[in-house]
Structure formats: C-alpha cells, structure tokens
Amino acid sequence: MTFHQAPPPAVSLRELSRGFAGKTVLDRLSLQIPHGQFVALLGESGSGKTTLLRALADLDEDADTQGEFAVPDEVSVLFQDARLLPWMSVLDNVVLGYRAAAAREKAMTLLDAVGLGDKADVWPDTLSGGQKQRAALARSLLREPDLLLADEPFGALDALTRIRMQGLLRDLVRRRNPTVVLVTHDVDEALLLADRILVLKEGRIAEDHPVRLGHPRLAHHPDFISLRQRLLASLGVEAGLVEGERP
C-alpha cells in the first residue's frame, strides 16, 4: 500500500506572539493554512488582524516577536491605499521593480484582466478610487505570489465599486490559485470570498469557520444566513443591523 504524505501548509504559525512597546497584540497564536485556501480575518479593532497580516508580510521590524512562522518565498501585499506613484504611468507602477520586457507584456495582460488595458499610459491621479485598486491588484499579481495578503483593500470604495472589486478578486484568485489572507470588517465580504473565516479576539483565534458554500454565493441561502448570524453574534453585532449601524 502506498501512502501519500500531505504537502506542508502554505502558512504555518506556532505560538506566535507580537507586540509593540511592551503591549502584546498577538498572543501565542498558532495557525496552519493549506496551499490555495482563501482565509478571511474578522475581529474588532485591536484584535490583531492587521498585526498578523503584517507579521506574515515581514513588516514592522520594531515589533517584539516570539514564536515561529513560515510563509512562501513569493508574497504580495494589497493595502487599502493603492500606493501608486503619481509621477509614473499606470503600467510603470505595475511593473515597478521589473526591467524585463516580458514583465511589461504580462502586466498588460493583467491590466486587461482588471479592465484597465486602455489606462496603461495615464497618470494614476486621473483614475477613480476603484481603478487605482484594480491597478494595485494587477501589481500584486504580477509576481505570481504564492501568498497574497490583503488588508481591507476595498474599505474606502463605494458600495457598487466594492462589489465589483470583490468579484474581480474572486475570479482572478480562482484562476491563479494563490493562498490568500484577507483582513476585513465586513462579514458579508468574508462570506462571499473566503473558504475559511477566522475570528480574532485579543490576539488569539477565537473561532475558526469553514465556509462550505459554492460559487456564486447567494446571500439568501440558508447556510449563508446561518453562518452570517453566528459571525455577527461573535462580533457582538445584532443580526438585524447593517454594517454602518453597529453600536
């Protein structure tokens, strides 16, 4: 009989603690994320979501860190702010750090995929907020990351643009299959996109929910509604309230 050993996880954390100026933010957190899984992090402000994401991105060199963690070699980060350089064209922003002509060709393919093929030569300041985030997404995917870290990338967008960006991210991720960790305050966004939802409280994983829903996901599906109510309750939000009406 032949036994096949499971591949190592894409992300592995063991007893990870991280703090700043003596204040602990992540408290002995352990976690494994398989390759290709889309994980959403939920939690109140200060629960450790962004600190965890920035630890995985190897940012915050001044942080006090203990424990172990391992991530893939190729990691890209998508922030809430698109962070495009205003003196460079959209295309040049996407290929920043690359010199090969092949990179520009691949960047154009990605710009076409995010609906910005006709904006390659314009200045970033001429783009809308949603277009800037699409350009940032193309830039993040150019290096074909094994791990994509997204810190509330759609938080500053209007509702309609946000829905479009969620669909775009979902479709691109399904085609390219990176592991994804998304920080969000939006329960519905987590349910629409993620394979797994983690709720952080006081720097630890309080809840770990697999999302066993197919695509497209329908907000009126009984399983969607049930998990949504459980997540809202765990966050201390009454199920009848919308995102902007939280106490």
The string of DSSP letters for 43-61 reads --TTSSHHHHHHHHTT--T
pLDDT digits (tens, 9 = 90+) for 13-40: 999 999 888 888 899 999 999 999 999 9
**Chain-wide mean pLDDT for the chain?**
87
Cβ-contact 215, 240 below 8 angstroms: no
Q: How far apart are CA 89 and CA 53, in angstroms?
A: 29
Q: In the sheet where 23-33 sits, what is the strand order?
A: 23-33, 11-20, 64-70
User: Which of 4-8, 63-67, 133-137, 193-197 has the weakest average pLDDT?
Assistant: 4-8
Q: How far apart are CA 120 and CA 108, in angstroms?
A: 7
Cα distances (angstroms) measured from residue 171 to each of 82, 167, 176, 177: 20, 6, 9, 10
Half-sphere exposure (CA, 13 Å, Cβ side) for 180? 31
Q: How far apart are CA 155 and CA 219, in angstroms?
A: 20
Q: How far apart are CA 171 and CA 27, in angstroms?
A: 34
Q: How far apart are CA 197 and CA 182, in angstroms?
A: 9
pLDDT digits (tens, 9 = 90+) for 128-187: 988 999 999 999 988 889 999 999 988 878 888 888 888 888 888 888 889 999 999 999
